[in-house]
Chains A and B, each alone.
Chain A
Amino acid sequence: MSTECITETEAGAQGLARLAAKDVTVGYGGRNVIDGLDVAIPPGVITTIIGPNGCGKSTLLRTLTRLLKPSRGTVVLDGEDIVKLRTRDVAKKLGLLPQAPVAPEGLTVSDLVARGRHPHQSWLRQWSSDDAGVVERALAMTGVSDLADRPVDSLSGGQRQRVWISMTLAQGTDLLLLDEPTTYLDLAHAIDVLDLVDDLHESGCTVVMVLHDLNLATRYSDNLIVMRAGSILAQGHPRDVITAELLDEAFGLRAAVVDDPVGDRPLIVPIGRTHVQLDQIP
């Protein structure tokens, strides 16, 4: 499998990638959103896909998780074509958290997280001590053990998102794909959730996520994939990728890129039409 080489750049990372898209074309109802795209997800790091609205970043994530079937090209998971794998086997390797999931009213936190064990269960073996142990660890890792008996709908947005991530963890995969995990969260809760994602990465998970907020993406990712109009404009470490020129090219955003006073990554300062002192722009 490793002999299959991608002609594009990043060839070194490709050999190690557990998840990769090769020349995929995918769209909705005849309209192609992504056309002939190649990408490889480096293992053990946080990869974040960014790009303007409608550029295909969620489409790419959904294609990588097999929610969407490409009309051309393949997605490769651990060396195998993901379309040819059994749905259950994919679920044992790859955890997925869709955008803004909704739990039934009254469902408790422990019940929701327990459902993450589904790929490991069968009609006869619906619950084992293994399952209980994994669920308890997932609850503890996300700091929601104390909420176990509460209904999910009674929690705050930030707690709720932690619970959903906990369910994805209970699935027991070390490959996590999160579609906009900070949607509808205020900044404090968004930071809280992303700190949790970083903890998971520290514990050995490979994470791929879609984020809207550029500064959060820059702060929390080791690998950025910048998309525009269905193709990848740039990919790499935020320090190498984020420049004023790129932001203009990708988003049509005029911005200053400065050093982050509290971090070791660049900080993006958007420049609008008003409330800006033009002589201050570096």
Chain B
Amino acid sequence: MSGTEVKRSVVAPGVRLGQVSFVWRPWLVGVTLLLVAATFLVFCLSIGVGEFPIGLSRVIATVLGGGERVDQFVIMDLRMPRALAGLVVGIALGVSGALTQSIARNPLASPDILGITGGAGAVSVFLVTVSGGAAAAVESTVGLSAAALAGGLGTGLLVYFLAWRRGIDGLRLILIGISVSAVMEAITTWLLVTADIKDVARAQAWLVGSLDDRSWGEVRTALWCTLVLLVVASCAAFQFKPMHLGDEVAAGLGVRYTAVRAVLLLCAVLLAGVAVSAAGPVPFVALVAPQVAMRLARCPTPPMVASGLVGALLLIGADLVARTALPIALPVGVVTAAIGGPFLVYLLVRANLR
């Protein structure tokens, strides 16, 4: 047992580029590159589909900067915002889910379950139904987006402080999240029942989650917010690896875990809030994407980049199915719920088997 000679290398090889060095994980890199390719393909496919179909090669040419004048107009001006919204919302949801699941060390801890999405929904519906008929200003989508973001952030903070007992325990976070989520759902239902029927229809359409009628302005805002949050998250993510081993081990390894967790949780809540404000509370993507990414990349914990890509792939793919599978176009949330519901059952059954 004291053999100091090691015959073969038992630890992961490293890569060194000047001052930068990291662990070389060929499988993870390969899966990530494949996901990038697949996402780009579905992205272009989604742009090509519509009343005026455009072939995949023409879409790719136009997206990469070339293409004919007509294609440029249809693709860049008309269809790009929707596709880009799908991409950004998918990435934001995927990364947000990966962060919350890692923080709680539990696959059930997604922004949906933690009440963040529900809170964003409730505040938005409040805006549409209570003040919607009256004030024209808040009718605007910008007001709705801001309300969703504020609702998500407020609910996230509420759950965090309710779950705080000299520290954050993953299971307690989830249980509090489910309770707060239920309260938010109840408020939403109550608002819908008491509201004017015209507002209800509008609120309902928004609540399912949809990428319809996105404008460049909205997409641009969501894109920049997501980019900034991803940069912050990736800076803090280095401190994150020891935290998968539990708070005390992380502390022993020199991580100020309360601060790191607070920053990352805030990132996760804001990412989910941005996603909801851009597309409505699209269900289950944040829950499913990190778990799928984990299995594809064969990682014991949700990989951040791959989770975002799977989220995008899932959302754009679901939107594509929603628009083409049936004679009438469905909102994307219907499709993600159809995929996500069974997946949640699978996770629960698997958790019970252990």
Contact = CB atoms under 8 A, between A and B. Distances in A.
Nearest to A145: B10
Interface in A54-102: 65-67, 86-92, 94-98, 101-102
A110 interface: yes
B251 A87 contact: yes
Contacts of B238: 121-123, 126
Contacts of B255: 87, 118
Contacts of B345: none
B254 A87 contact: yes
A92 B254 contact: yes
A19 B9 CA distance: 36
Contacts of A102: 245-246
B105 A125 contact: no
A146 B145 CA distance: 55
A102 B12 CA distance: 22
Contacts of B299: 106
Interface residues of B: mostly helix, strand, loop or mixed?
Answer: loop
Task: Bin the interface of chain B by size.
Answer: 35 or more
A137 interface: yes
A178 B70 CA distance: 70
Interface residues of A, number: 62
Contact of A127 (B6, B12, B254, B301): B12
Interface string A104-127: 111110111111101101111111
A268 B246 CA distance: 36
Contact of A135 (B11, B246, B248, B300): B11
Given A87-B256, A103-B245, A111 B251 contact: no
B241 A118 contact: yes
Contacts of A90: 254
Nearest to B242: A118
Given A98-B252, A101-B245, A114 B12 contact: yes
A141 interface: yes
B7 to A, nearest CB: 9
Contact of B10 (A86, A88, A149): A149
Contacts of B3: 140, 145
A29 interface: yes
Nearest to B234: A123
Contacts of A118: 241-242, 253-255
A168 B211 CA distance: 49
Contacts of A116: 253
B252 A106 contact: no
A125 B253 contact: no
A115 B11 contact: no
Contacts of A145: 3, 6, 10
Looking at B11, B22, B23, B248, the one whose CB has the most chain A CB atoms below 10 A away is B11
Interface of A: 28-29, 65-67, 86-92, 94-98, 101-108, 110-116, 118-119, 121-129, 131-132, 135-137, 139-143, 145, 148-149, 151, 167-168, 171, 196, 199
Interface of B: 1-6, 9-16, 19-23, 105, 166, 235, 238, 241-242, 244-246, 248-249, 251-256, 299-301
